[in-house]
Structure 1
């Protein structure tokens, strides 16, 4: 029962953080949405900041699950696996109404005013880029990318471009920016 309450708070919090951002994530609204007493929230989370940091961890579990499923799919060549990860992420964005990446949204909102969140979100982006770099390196070694292709640097660039396109997609509520970015990146990388 206790874990159910904590999980209910986290599940609702993930959606609310994505939809409203950190500053508009009201603890009282969360408690009302989950029918949870205030004391229960503070039993599991010492502060709103601690709660949001745990939400980021939950989000990253989902991201790593997606990376595992796509980058680990050896039935596809490495570049197709990387692209597949982003295409599935784009599909998730569509299902959520094109709200974009929670990391990007919270990072834009808080990175200039909260060092804890800045460092945490940078750590998350680095973890994603590191996983992608491994797959890009596999593609380079297979000859699918130029011999001098800098896999880690190009993985960072891919994540950076994706985050910018995700923001534009959120602003427009339209996936065109994401698709154009993927098409451009993979054409440039292999050309």
Structure 2
């Protein structure tokens, strides 16, 4: 990266931690610029508005998340089902006890910005669809290697699982209790046939 793209990345990185803590609407440009140590002109050089900045923030988050999924699901270790189960086990470990509030931008912003900004809602939609497509690909691998129950549809199952875990994340955050994750994990084992082995 050159110095100017470093500045853009620095603004996004700094803002992400602030927004994870307080939400998008609650964090004004002043605190972001102050924390990043950059002048207002630098911000507007990269982002014509706060809304455009929000879109860039979400796109950056999803790109990084998808890279981690590609690395996990592209591994040759274990069955396809084991890789998918490992993904959700890590999700539960990282985010239990409300920890997602400090890690998961999609969960943090989904409800807040869906009605606030159509471009940000679209960025969330595109990002989450790409995640479910990656999960579906991993489940397709599981189907091919025989580790997924016969007759399971990878695309439909991917949407079901991702919806289940997003819901568990929201409830865990609201309740400050890991019970929703435990229920999601038990249901995931059942859907993937892992509770039978």
TM-score (norm 2): 0.87
* Alpha-carbon distance, 1:94 to partner: 5.9
CA contact 1:145–1:189 (8 Å) conserved in 2: yes
Aligned partner of 2:190 in structure 1 is 187
Per-residue deviation, 1:91: 4.2
Q: Which has the higher contact order (CA 8 A, sep 6+)?
A: 2
Q: 1:105-116 alignment to 2 at 5 Å?
A: 105-116=108-119
* Contact 2:81-2:192 within 8 A present in 1 as well: no
Give the superposed CA RMSD: 2.1
Structure 2 gap ranges (5+): none
* 1:156 alignment counterpart: 159
SS at match of 2:192: helix
Native 8 Å contact 2:135 2:158 kept in 1: yes
**Quick check: 76-85 or 140-149, which moved more?**
140-149
**Residue 31 (structure 1) aligned with residue 33 (structure 2):** yes
Q: C-alpha offsets along residues 38-94 of structure 1, whole Å, 9 cap, x if unaligned?
A: 111111111111111111111112211220221111111111111222333344436
Residue 123 of structure 2: aligned partner? 120
Structure 1 residue 145: Cα displacement: 2.2
Q: Is the 8 A contact 2:24 2:109 kept in 1?
A: yes
- SS of aligned partner of 1:75: coil
Shift of 1:27: 0.7
Contact 1:66 / 1:85 at 8 angstroms: preserved in 2?
A: no
> Would the aligned equivalents of 1:67 and 1:131 in 2 still touch at CA under 8 Å?
yes
> Cα distance, 1:117 vs. partner?
2.0
CA distance in structure 1 between the aligned counterparts of 2:170 and 2:151, rounded to whole angstroms: 31
Residue aligned with 1:73, SS: coil
Equivalent residues of 1:18, 1:101 under 8 A apart = yes
SS at match of 1:6: helix
Match of 2:44 among 30, 42, 45: 42
Q: Gapped runs of 5+ residues in structure 1?
A: none
Q: Is the contact made by 1:101 and 1:166 (CA closer than 8 Å) also made in structure 2?
A: no
SS of the aligned residue for 1:98 comes to helix
